[in-house]
Amino acid sequence: MATTTALITLASTDLTNDNLSLSKTSTLTEAGNSTGLTQTSGAGRKTTASVSEYTLLAASDYTADKAHKLYLANTSSTATEFFTVKINTQEVGRIYAGDWCFLPWTAVTSADIKITPSEATTMTLEHMLLNE
């Protein structure tokens, strides 16, 4: 059984009146049991110089309603450059320069993961899917 652990820490000394220090750790497991996730799409990069929408992950390539976890990171250092992230036609958000996200994905019909770069300059998005 594979063991994969995700950890997030949020810290700030000036966001609130008190110091902010939150930390959460999770062992990534299959849906409905304690077996660790055993598959990955592998770490990859999508580099583009276009503002075209791209299908990063096609839902039809994966089993629906499983405990898939998606990691995305914008490698840009230019503050105005971002990737818009959609699941099918629903915009989930934007990943600006240096930002990243980690989110669950069910891969149900028409739930393709799509990205659209904001600039027609060379931009790179790192990605990895941990899946069942």
What are the sequence ranges of the domains in the chain?
Answer: 39-131
Q: Do 125 and 118 touch, CB atoms closer than 8 A?
A: no
- Note the pLDDT of residue 16: 85
Give the helix/strand (H/E) hosting 93: strand 90-96
Q: Which CATH number fits domain 39-131: 1.10.630.10, 1.10.3430.10, 2.60.120.10, 3.30.470.10?
A: 2.60.120.10
The C-alpha atoms of residue 127 and residue 73 are separated, in whole angstroms, by: 7
- Note the pLDDT of residue 42: 82
1 pLDDT above the threshold of 70: no
Q: Do 81 and 96 touch, CB atoms closer than 8 A?
A: yes
- Note the pLDDT of residue 113: 96
Write the pLDDT tens digit of every residue in 31-73.
999 899 988 988 899 999 999 999 999 999 999 989 999 999 9
Residue 84 φ then ψ, to 5°: -85, 135
Write the pLDDT tens digit of every residue in 22-37.
999 999 999 999 899 9
